[in-house]
C-alpha cells in the first residue's frame, strides 16, 4: 500500500466519533458495554493545552451546551509524527439538533500558531502535534476547538469493513487504484472506500469533489454503525476503534454526549470553504479571502451559540 493511499484513510476520523456515540446508544448489555468502555479507555489520550481564550468555561455536556471537535486523519510512520492530511471540524448543537461538518483543505494557507509564520494548515500537526493543530484551526476559524479525535489512517479500511462496508451515491464514473466506480449507488468495502475518497484529479471540482466523497464515506460509516445489525459485530468494531483512534474525550463524556446529543447526530450538514489556488515562492497554497473566511466563521459561531 503506497503512501498516497494511506494518506486518504482519514475518513475514519469522523466516522469514529459519530460511530462511537451512536453505536454506544444501543449498547447497554453488560458485555457490549464493557467492551466499549475498554476500547474508549484505550483510545483516551489527554493533551497539555491551555483553556481556550475563546471559551470562558469548559463545555458542560449535562447542560447540553454546543461543542466542537477537530477530526484529524494522520499518516503516522515509525519515528515520524506525520502530517494531518485531513482536517474536519464538527460543531454540534443539541438546541437545533444538528451537526455542521466543515472540511478544511490541507493546503490552506494560514498562521501556524506557535511557529510565528504562515504555512499550509496541515503542517501544524507536523510541527507541534495535536495541540498546535487545535490552536491553529481555532485561530483560523475564530471559534473554540473543544476536543480532538485523531485517526491513524493505516487502519481506515478496518473500520469500514468492521461495520460491513458503506453505501454511497457517486455522481461520477471513474477509476482509481485499479477500482472502477460507476455513477449511481455503490456499496464499498474498506479498500474500495479508501480509493473512492482519494480521487481528485479526475473530478472537475478537484479537492472539493474529493471532500464530498470523504464526507459520504463518513456518513456511510455513521449509518452502518448506528444500525442494530452492527451490534452483532461490536467486538470487531470496538477493536478497530481502539487500535486506530486517539481522543481526549473520556468514556463518561462519550456516554453523556450519547445521552444528551443523540438527535443531533441524525442531522449532519456539510460545509465547504472556498479557496483560490496560488503559488508563493513556487509552493502551492489555497488562499481564503477575508470575506469567505468571515462567512464560514459566522456560520460556525452561530452553530455554537457564540453570536
- Do residues 111 and 123 lie in contact, with contact meaning Cβ atoms separated by under 8 Å? no
The DSSP line for 53-112 is TT-SS---GGGT--EEEEEEEE--BTTB---EEEEEEEEEETTTTEEEEEEE-TTBEEEE
Q: Measuring CA to CA, which residue among 170, 80, 164, 167 is closest to residue 125?
A: 80
Residue-range domains of the chain with CATH: 3-164+206-303 (3.30.420.590)
- pTM equals 0.79
Q: Render pLDDT for 153-204 as a digit per residue (tens, 0 to 9).
A: 667 778 888 888 889 999 999 999 899 999 999 999 988 988 888 787 788 8
| pLDDT value of position 220 | 80
When comparing pLDDT for 9 and 46, which is higher? Answer: 46
Give the sign of the dihedral formed by CA 181, CA 187, CA 190, CA 193: positive
- For residues 109-133, give the mean pLDDT: 94
- pLDDT bracket for residue 115 (50, 70, 90): very high
Report the distance separating Cα 210 and Cα 198, nearest Å: 6
| pLDDT value of position 133 | 96
- Sequence-distant (6+) residues with CB within 8 A of 180 are 174
- pLDDT bracket for residue 240 (50, 70, 90): confident
**Percentage of the residues of the chain whose pLDDT score is greater than 70:** 82
Q: How many CB atoms lie within 10 A of CB 188?
A: 22
Amino acid at each position: 500500500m503506497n503512501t498516497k493511499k494511506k494518506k486518504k484513510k482519514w475518513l475514519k476520523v469522523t466516522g469514529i466519533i459519530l460511530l462511537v456515540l451512536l453505536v454506544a446508544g444501543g449498547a447497554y448489555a453488560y458485555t457490549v458495554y464493557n467492551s466499549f468502555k475498554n476500547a474508549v479507555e484505550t483510545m483516551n489520550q489527554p493533551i497539555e493545552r491551555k483553556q481556550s481564550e475563546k471559551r470562558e468555561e469548559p463545555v458542560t455536556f449535562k447542560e447540553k451546551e454546543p461543542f466542537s471537535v477537530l477530526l484529524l486523519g494522520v499518516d503516522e510512520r515509525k519515528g515520524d509524527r506525520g502530517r494531518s492530511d485531513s482536517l474536519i471540524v464538527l460543531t454540534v448543537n443539541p438546541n437545533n439538533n444538528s451537526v455542521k461538518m466543515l472540511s478544511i483543505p490541507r493546503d490552506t494557507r494560514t498562521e501556524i500558531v506557535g511557529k510565528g509564520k504562515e504555512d499550509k494548515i496541515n503542517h501544524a500537526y507536523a510541527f507541534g502535534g495535536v495541540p498546535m493543530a487545535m490552536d491553529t484551526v481555532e485561530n483560523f476559524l475564530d471559534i473554540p476547538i473543544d476536543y480532538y479525535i485523531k485517526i491513524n489512517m493505516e487502519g481506515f479500511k478496518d473500520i469500514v469493513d468492521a461495520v460491513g462496508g458503506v453505501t454511497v451515491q457517486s455522481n461520477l464514473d471513474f477509476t482509481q487504484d485499479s477500482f472502477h466506480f460507476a455513477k449511481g449507488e455503490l456499496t464499498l468495502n474498506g479498500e474500495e472506500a479508501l480509493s473512492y475518497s482519494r480521487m481528485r484529479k479526475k473530478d472537475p471540482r478537484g479537492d472539493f469533489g474529493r471532500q464530498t466523497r470523504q464526507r459520504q464515506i463518513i456518513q456511510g460509516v455513521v449509518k452502518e454503525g448506528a444500525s442494530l445489525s452492527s451490534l452483532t459485530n461490536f467486538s470487531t468494531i470496538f477493536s478497530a476503534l481502539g487500535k486506530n483512534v486517539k481522543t481526549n474525550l473520556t468514556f463518561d463524556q462519550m456516554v453523556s454526549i450519547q445521552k444528551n446529543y443523540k438527535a443531533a447526530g441524525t442531522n449532519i450538514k456539510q460545509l465547504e470553504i472556498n479557496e483560490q489556488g496560488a503559488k508563493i515562492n513556487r509552493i502551492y497554497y489555497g488562499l481564503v479571502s477575508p470575506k469567505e473566511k468571515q462567512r464560514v466563521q459566522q456560520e460556525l459561531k452561530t452553530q455554537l451559540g457564540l453570536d
